[in-house]
């Protein structure tokens, strides 16, 4: 990580904003009739959640995203209340992305409509926002099913060429399968740090063992952070494998574990820490997240 710029220490996050509707049911969903549920509506999106967690760590955060025009003020206000400097574009035709989550026990099924996120154009990002940051973070969602995925790939190439560190979260084993792992790895090749969970590591590499998967990914990226829930994380840095244990927590709701973990990593990196100590900070943040209801602090 010798080439990491320590100052300025702002982080730029580019990615999805979603309106989440979480329906918690206590019995299986009954087709063609009603099933009682407790329903919660929140603002989400993996990248947006990470931005909010990161602002909570007192790191300056710029967030770039796209929402339906009629939601612009509402979403902008929520980011500013959370301490995130949002640079939103308003889509005149598409609605804000939305996600319906049906949660029963440990099972969560998601129906995802990425809406305006699909037309997010990184060419609209002001050069001064980019040059003010030491790290750029994106999620895999920005590369999946985008109107023009090559735009994101060119964007991260340009940013990485200026010396800014780029981190990408693989985000979704299902969408990785749809996209094709090799195509995805090619698109994110300028990234310095890749983060994935166990399922994503398997899809990306074909390896069934997490350690093997990390070593395969390490042939293409300087740093790899592969997490496996309460079992913790494996981190590849400077040619060596490190184990970063999870921190024991009373789990209330696991939603947002990965997003808060990414915020912890970015908070460490933006402060000039190594990936390993950033991952320890991330484990602390995500242990706090799982004790809370919802994906945000």
67, β-bridge pairs: 90
Among 83, 174, 181, 254, binds ligand ATP (CB under 6 A): 254
**Cα–Cα distance, 263 to 295 (Å, whole number):** 12
* Contact mark string toward ligand ATP, 123..162, x via CB under 6 A: ----------------------------------------
State which of residues 230, 271, 274, 297 lies at the interface with ligand ATP (CB under 6 A).
230
| Rounded least distance, CB 93 to ligand ATP, Å | 30
Scored b (16 or more CB within 10 A) or e, 216-247 reads ebbeebbbbbbbeeeeebbbbbeeeebebebe
Q: How far is the CB of 216 from Mg ion (least distance, A)?
A: 19
d(CA 237, CA 225): 9
Determine how many CB atoms are found less than 10 A away from the CB of residue 149.
Answer: 16
Of residues 22 and 88, the one with the C-beta less far from Mg ion: 22
Total interface residues for ligand ATP by CB under 6 A: 21
Stretch that binds ligand ATP, among 10-18, 26-34, 221-229, 266-274 (CB under 6 A): 221-229
> Total binding residues for Mg ion by CB under 5 A?
1
Residue from the set 68, 258, 264, 268 that interacts with Mg ion by CB under 5 A:
258
Q: How many CA atoms lie within 13 Å of 207's alpha carbon, on the beta-carbon side?
A: 14
Q: Of Mg ion, ligand ATP, none, which one does residue 222 interact with (CB within 5 to 8 Å by kind)?
A: none
Beta-ladder partners of 39: 23
Nearest-angstrom CA–CA distance, 67 and 45: 11
Query: By the criterion CB under 6 A, which residues form the site for ligand ATP?
Result: 197, 227-230, 232-233, 246-247, 249, 251, 254, 256-259, 261, 283, 286-287, 290
């Amino acid at each position: 990580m010798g080439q990491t710029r320590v100052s300025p220490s702002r982080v730029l996050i580019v990615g999805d904003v979603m309106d989440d509707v979480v329906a918690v049911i206590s019995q299986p969903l009954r087709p063609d009739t009603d099933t009682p549920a407790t329903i919660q509506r929140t603002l989400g999106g993996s990248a947006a959640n990470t931005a909010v967690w990161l602002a909570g760590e007192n790191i300056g955060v710029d967030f770039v995203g796209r929402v339906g025009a009629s939601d612009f003020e509402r979403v902008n206000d929520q980011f500013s209340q959370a301490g995130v400097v949002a640079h939103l574009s308003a889509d005149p035709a598409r609605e804000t992305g939305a996600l319906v989550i049906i949660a029963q026990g440990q099972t969560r099924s998601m129906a995802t409509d990425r809406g305006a996120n699909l037309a997010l154009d990184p060419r609209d990002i002001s050069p001064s926002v980019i040059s003010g940051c030491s790290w750029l973070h994106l999620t895999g969602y920005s590369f999946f099913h985008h109107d023009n995925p090559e735009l994101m790939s060119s964007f991260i190439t340009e940013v990485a060429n200026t010396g800014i560190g780029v981190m990408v979260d693989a985000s979704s084993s299902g969408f990785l399968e749809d996209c094709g792992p090799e195509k995805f790895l090619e698109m994110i090749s300028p990234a310095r740090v890749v983060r994935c969970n166990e399922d994503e590591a398997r899809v990306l590499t074909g390896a069934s063992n997490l350690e093997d998967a990390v070593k395969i990914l390490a042939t293409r990226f300087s740093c790899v952070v592969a997490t496996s829930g309460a079992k913790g994380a494996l981190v590849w840095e400077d040619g060596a494998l490190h184990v970063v244990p999870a921190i024991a927590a009373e789990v209330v709701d696991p939603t947002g574990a990965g997003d808060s973990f990414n915020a912890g990593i970015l908070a460490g990196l933006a402060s000039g820490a190594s990936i390993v100590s950033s991952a320890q900070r991330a484990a602390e943040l995500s242990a706090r997240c799982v004790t809370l209801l919802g994906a945000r602090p």
